Amino acid sequence: ATSTHGSVTLTWEAPEAMTPNNYKVYRNSSYLATTANLTYTDLNVTDGVTYSYYVVASYTDGDSEPSNTVSATPNTFPPTNLTAVGGDTVVNLGWTAAGGRGAEEESLDGRNISGYRIYRDGSSLTTVTGTSYADHNVVNGTTYSYWVTTLYSNPSGESAASNTAEATPLAMAYAVIGSGTGTTSTTEGCPINIYKKSLHGQSVYTAAELNAAGLYGPTDITQLGFYVATAPALALPNFRMRMKHTTATDVTNWISADGLTTVYSSTSYMPVTGDWDMLILSTPFAWNGIDNIVIDTDFDRVATESATGTVHYTNMANGYRYGRSTYSDMGETFTGGLVSVYRPDVKLGFVYVEPAGPEIAVDPLSLNFGEVQVGQTSVKQFTIYSNGDETLSGSITTPSGYTVSTARGKGQKNLGASRNTLSFSLPVGTHQTYNLSFNPTAVATYSGNVTITSNDIDESTVLIAVTGTGYTPANISLSNNSLSATLVNGAQGTDSFTISNSGSQGLSFNLAESPSVAWFSATPSSGTVSGDGNQLVTGTFFPEGLVPGTYNTTLLVNSNDPDSPQLPMSVQLVVQNSSPTINAPESLIFDIYADTSLIEDFSPYVDDLDPQTLTLGYSGNSNILVSIDGLTVTFSSLNYWTGTEEITFSVYDGTAYAYDTVSVTITQIMYPPTNLIAQAGNRVVNLSWTAPDPAGVSGYRIYRDGQVLTDVFGTTYSDASVSNGVTYQYYVTTLYANPAGESAASNTAEATPMAIINVTLGDGTSATNTNEGCPINIFRRSLHGQSVYTAAELNAAGVYGPVEITALGFYVNSAPNQALPSFVVRMKHTTAANVADWQTSTDMVTVYSATSYMPTPGGYDMLTLDTPFTWNGTDNIVIDTAFNRVGSRNSSGTVRYTETASGYRYTRSDYFNQTNTFYGGSVSIYRPNVQLTIYGGEPAPPEITVDLLALDFGAVKVGNSVVRQFTIANSGEEDLIGSITTPAGYSVVEQGRNSTDTEILRNTLEFNLAGGTNAVYQLTFQPLEAISYNGNVVISSNDEDEPTVNIALTGSGYIPPTVS
């Protein structure tokens, strides 16, 4: 959004994917206008009021989301950069135009800037249409204040004020620099010559020349002009004039661009011929009255070069330097080019300043010669400057001990002998350096002033404070030439000597050992002894770890004594013998499991000031084994003993012993497992725990309901000997070996195993079409849908509440071609039997969410719920799914369904996220089939299955037997309990039992099968006579649906024929 007076213009970019019919513009959240363009200008606005805007793209099937919001404040704009320059009875004003209507706004009913109003001293002066004005109704010497405003038309208006500018018109004086009347040739470079298309040149005009022409400073130069002999054929484009101060006297070298100030510029300048073409400087140049000045001019390339444009000049060596080119603008080129003797004459307009007279400056105003040896000379310099506009003259007088002379420049002869008084005369703008010599004749301080008197009326006397001291050099002497001490290792002793200085100058000294040794130091190691002073030096002896004996070194005393710069001093140490010591810890402790043994370094506990080998010994131990290797001691338990013993240790250095006692303790700490967790499943409890430190651990013992269950080696165990619906309590202990032991119990954990079943609601086998709404269909980019599944359906599937639904999934017939972003599943209870109306978001619980969900086709794609849903066993349930907009819509994503009136309600959109839209949309009969994982329901009753249901034994010889098998299985969850009864001639036994065991082989056998298990039984036929044995094995059980199952039996006995 861009704004100006009475309008705000908006622009935007078209959408990338689709082309809208048009765009709707909103202002302050209210509809404003409709346009088919990518820009709109709001003319119904008020200056100073801030407006906010956004745009929506309008399509046939709806509007897009809003664009970003922008703000704009229409207003008027004042001019900027107002300048005011005073002249002789005139003030010239200039400013930068206000930011008004550009070319693209010209169609806005002529709403343009109509002009500018000029105010002087707070009152309206006049109205103009341009950006400059010359105020001639002024009086020299009076200061005027100006500002300017912008005037608008249609609608009319006036801006705020520009910046304020002040100017004071003054009577002008003029000075001409250069007396030549010659004219530059038409091919010679000068500020207005166009022999080449672009030219940049500069000249230096000295302060002396300005003074000679009657121009004294400091003052402002407000006008400048060259004498134009002949004008160039074309106006000079972007003509510019720059100036700065310089110490250079000519343009032997280019004067750099640093510090150049633009004092005048014109986009097109045509010089006026036949006289001085005076230009009023937009920025007056403030000349400091001391330095020379540079005048630097340049212009960009004219359309056609020609041999035209000449000025008057004065012949002067290195008077004018310039660079010019046919092909490039030269204004910023400060290298190369040509230098000529034709320096352009220049006329300067300025405010006249009376000459100031002679003016003195002295540098420095103090000189400190420090210390100078008696009979020697030290020289320092000072300089006198003539900064006025008349010759400076006077005299220099020095105090006692000092003389003055004129300093010689390089290659100059001596300008005079040294004396106590010296006269001088310095022309304007010059300076002279002088030598001040200090010649002390005694040890004393020479302080005073160099007195400079001159014809400077304001400062007729200048004083230079001088000071200096005469000295004699340092002279060293020592009170003795040796230091010594007799000590044992670890002791400390001292010896000392005195350094004396008989000179007047300070004696600087420093001490060094040769060779350097660790057992000696001297303090202070360096310093200064004042004239006729003394310094005590203390030598400290501190032997550490030295073999008894005698040690020597030399202490070198170095100083600034020119005659004795180094004096030696002998140093001797005698070391005597010392005894060893032992300071063992009061107690040591280690654990028989965690550590097995303890290795202790005794080197920190023993010491000998002499560097002798030490030997350890011990006594007093009975149950703790001790071994020594050097100064390392190893402790271990004898036969897994635990407890505390006092052990005495000795240390021997070859001459003497020392003793100390240590209390050594061996512990037996058994750590229980931690963080025991019991997780219940279907007829199983899974245990896990965190192991303690593994040292000594041989395994773990699991307790269930206070009784030992089993021993294991790992940190997990699955207890499958449990029944659903029963709560079990567990704890675990740690078993240790070597020695054997059992820890305290871990924390206690409880678990109740429960049945986990999967049920399917909906038996349809057809799939939704690729354009039909379903939980995973992306025919539109975002979809939200829901279905109701009744309590009666859950009961019919064998599910009774309350139970937890821990997972659910739809049968994915075909997957969408891209993942579903921000996919959510929500559930709640309802009394509604279908989705004839939307089930509201009230009490809706998000049970599953994924930032990106890609369904897996070919079966039920089960999703484990983040938050299991607890069905109360009474109400119906709502399953609600949604996903945010996919990258692009596609006819894909189908599921299996069962036709149900008002079975599935959904809403979908390409432009907006539908996740929280609970109104509108469509309703269909294609309710998605869903599979639920149920945890904690009532266990299924016992259910019997028998295989086989008929057994034929054929003909069996009387007295022999034949065995057949059958299986009983329990497909329920509760225990199957019953009995098996056989007819005459038959008997039954469970497989694995010996059929000859009369106590096991029987005609009636009871059984008890846990849910999900089976058992195999052996049926034996043993005929006792040659008859048919037909009948039934009768199996009775607690299966309420099938309490009796019969196995049909056929068989016969026979007696083989005999021959007699």
- Same domain for 186 and 260? yes
Does 1059 map to a domain?
no
Q: Is the whole-model pTM more than 0.75?
A: no
Supply 565's token pair.
């710069």
In this prediction, residue 937 carries a pLDDT of: 64
In this prediction, residue 7 carries a pLDDT of: 87
CA-CA distance, 242 to 904, in Å (whole number)?
85
- Same domain for 889 and 964? no
In this prediction, residue 415 carries a pLDDT of: 46
- Same domain for 148 and 180? no
Q: Is the pLDDT at 411 greater than 50, yes or no? A: no
- Same domain for 783 and 911? yes
Going by their DSSP bridges, the two strands 930-937 and 845-853 should be labelled as: unpaired
Does 549 map to a domain?
yes
Contact 1029, 1052 (CB under 8 A): yes
Arithmetic mean of pLDDT, 941-949: 92
pLDDT in tens, 768-821: 999 999 999 999 999 999 999 999 999 988 888 889 999 999 999 999 999 999
Q: Which of 470, 398, 410 is nearest to 441 (CA)?
A: 470
Does 346 map to a domain?
yes
pLDDT in tens, 500-512: 998 888 899 999 9
CA-CA distance, 164 to 146, in Å (whole number)?
6
Residue with tokens 């060596």: 317
- Same domain for 446 and 488? no
pLDDT in tens, 556-612: 999 999 999 999 999 999 988 788 999 999 999 999 998 889 999 999 999 988 888
Dihedral of CA 812/816/822/827: which sign?
negative
Q: Which amino acid is located at 204 in the chain?
A: V
* Mean per-residue pLDDT over the chain, rounded: 92
Arithmetic mean of pLDDT, 852-873: 96
CA-CA distance, 742 to 756, in Å (whole number)?
37
Q: Which amino acid is located at 403 in the chain?
A: T
- Same domain for 882 and 971? no
Cis peptide before 78 (omega within 30 of 0): no
Contact 290, 388 (CB under 8 A): no
In this prediction, residue 648 carries a pLDDT of: 96
pLDDT in tens, 170-221: 877 899 999 999 999 999 999 999 999 999 999 999 999 998 898 887 888 9
Enumerate the H helices of 160-303 as residue ranges.
Answer: 207-212
CA-CA distance, 704 to 690, in Å (whole number)?
18
Residue 696: left if φ>0, alpha if ψ -120 to 50, beta else—which one? Answer: left
In this prediction, residue 110 carries a pLDDT of: 38
Going by their DSSP bridges, the two strands 894-909 and 922-928 should be labelled as: antiparallel
Dihedral of CA 823/829/833/838: which sign?
negative
pLDDT in tens, 822-835: 999 999 999 999 99
- Same domain for 538 and 614? no
Return the CATH number at 656. 2.60.40.10
- Same domain for 916 and 880? yes
Does 697 map to a domain?
yes
Q: Is the pLDDT at 841 greater than 50, yes or no? A: yes
In this prediction, residue 801 carries a pLDDT of: 82
pLDDT in tens, 741-768: 999 999 999 998 887 888 999 999 999 9
CA-CA distance, 265 to 281, in Å (whole number)?
8
Going by their DSSP bridges, the two strands 366-373 and 461-471 should be labelled as: parallel
Q: Is the pLDDT at 426 greater than 70, yes or no? A: yes
Give me the phi and psi of 208, to 5 degrees please: -60, -40
Does 355 map to a domain?
no
- Residue 654 — very low, low, confident or very high, per pLDDT cuts 50/70/90? confident
Residue with tokens 């400013």: 95
Q: Is the pLDDT at 837 greater than 80, yes or no? A: yes
Give me the phi and psi of 245, to 5 degrees please: -80, 155
Query: Cα torsion for 980, 981, 987, 993, to the nearest 10°?
Result: 20
Does 534 map to a domain?
yes
Domain-terminating residue out of 937, 954, 979: 937
Q: Which of 481, 490, 489 is nearest to 539 (CA)?
A: 481
- Same domain for 210 and 336? yes
Beta bridge partners of 677: 688
Q: Is the pLDDT at 995 greater than 60, yes or no? A: no
User: Which residues are within 8 A (CB) of 156 and not within 5 positions of it... i.e. 6 or more apart?
Assistant: none
Q: Structurally, how many domains does the chain consist of?
A: 9
Does 875 map to a domain?
yes
In this prediction, residue 354 carries a pLDDT of: 64
Q: Is the pLDDT at 363 greater than 70, yes or no? A: yes
CA-CA distance, 188 to 192, in Å (whole number)?
10
Interior CA angle at 49 toward 44 and 55, to 5°? 60
Dihedral of CA 910/915/917/923: which sign?
positive
For 182, other C-beta atoms within 10 Å of its C-beta total: 14
Does 1060 map to a domain?
no
Residue 792, H or E segment: helix 791-796
CA-CA distance, 701 to 679, in Å (whole number)?
18
Arithmetic mean of pLDDT, 1030-1037: 95
Arithmetic mean of pLDDT, 409-431: 73
pLDDT in tens, 344-354: 999 999 876 66
- Residue 1001 — very low, low, confident or very high, per pLDDT cuts 50/70/90? low
Domain-terminating residue out of 443, 471, 499: 471
In this prediction, residue 1060 carries a pLDDT of: 82
Contact 360, 460 (CB under 8 A): no
Domain-terminating residue out of 549, 576, 603: 576
- Same domain for 126 and 247? no
In this prediction, residue 102 carries a pLDDT of: 37
For 419, other C-beta atoms within 10 Å of its C-beta total: 12
Arithmetic mean of pLDDT, 328-337: 96
In this prediction, residue 994 carries a pLDDT of: 52
- Same domain for 620 and 746? no
Arithmetic mean of pLDDT, 426-435: 90
Contact 172, 87 (CB under 8 A): yes
- Same domain for 569 and 635? no
In this prediction, residue 938 carries a pLDDT of: 65
In this prediction, residue 997 carries a pLDDT of: 45
Q: Residue 380: how many CA atoms within 13 Å on its side-chain side?
A: 19
Domain span including residue 653:
580-667
In this prediction, residue 939 carries a pLDDT of: 66
Contact 553, 515 (CB under 8 A): yes
CA-CA distance, 588 to 1038, in Å (whole number)?
70
Contact 971, 1012 (CB under 8 A): yes
For 606, other C-beta atoms within 10 Å of its C-beta total: 21
